[in-house]
Amino acid sequence: MKKLLLFIFTLCLYSFSFSFHISPDGFGKRIDGDGGFQEYTFENKTGKTIRYRFAILPGRNPEKSMDKWIEFEPKFMTIKNGESKKLKLYAKSPPEAKIGDYSFYLAVNSVTIPGILEGKEGEVTTGSTVGINMHIEMLGWVGDLPAKLKLEKYNFYEKDEKVYFKGFVNNHTEKRFVRYMIEVIGNHGERATLYGGVLPSKHTKSFDVHLPQFKKKSDIWKIEVRETLDRNLLQTLKL
Q: Classify domain 149-238 at the CATH topology level.
A: Immunoglobulin-like (2.60.40)
Q: Looking at the predicted structure, is the pLDDT value of residue 12 above 60?
A: no
> How confident is the model at residue 19, as a pLDDT?
61
92/192 Cα distance (integer angstroms): 36
> How confident is the model at residue 6, as a pLDDT?
36
How many other β-carbons are positioned within 10 Å of the β-carbon of residue 102?
Answer: 25
> How confident is the model at residue 46, as a pLDDT?
84
CA dihedral 75, 81, 85, 87 (to 10 degrees): 40
Q: Looking at the predicted structure, is the pLDDT value of residue 11 above 70?
A: no
Tell me what the mean pLDDT of segment 22-29 comes to.
Answer: 93
Closest to 119 in 3D by CA, of 59, 68, 50: 50
Say which amino acid occupies 207.
Answer: F
pLDDT in tens, 209-218: 999 999 999 9
pLDDT in tens, 120-151: 554 544 444 556 789 999 999 999 999 999 99
Tell me what the mean pLDDT of segment 153-170 comes to.
Answer: 97
Tell me what the mean pLDDT of segment 27-37 comes to.
Answer: 97
Pick 21-142's CATH classification: 3.40.50.300, 3.40.50.720, 3.40.640.10, 2.60.40.10.
2.60.40.10
Would 21-142 and 149-238 be classified into the same CATH topology?
yes
> How confident is the model at residue 70, as a pLDDT?
98
> How confident is the model at residue 129, as a pLDDT?
53
Q: What is the pTM of this model?
A: 0.81
Q: How confident is the model at residue 224 (pLDDT cuts 50, 70, 90)?
A: very high
Question: Among 32-36, 89-93, 129-133, 213-217, which stretch is predicted with the lowest mean pLDDT?
Answer: 129-133
> Any idea where the domains of the chain sit in the sequence?
21-142, 149-238
Closest to 143 in 3D by CA, of 67, 19, 52, 32: 32
> How confident is the model at residue 114, as a pLDDT?
64
Q: Looking at the predicted structure, is the pLDDT value of residue 1 above 60?
A: no
101/169 Cα distance (integer angstroms): 19
Q: How confident is the model at residue 82 (pLDDT cuts 50, 70, 90)?
A: very high
Tell me what the mean pLDDT of segment 173-193 comes to.
Answer: 97
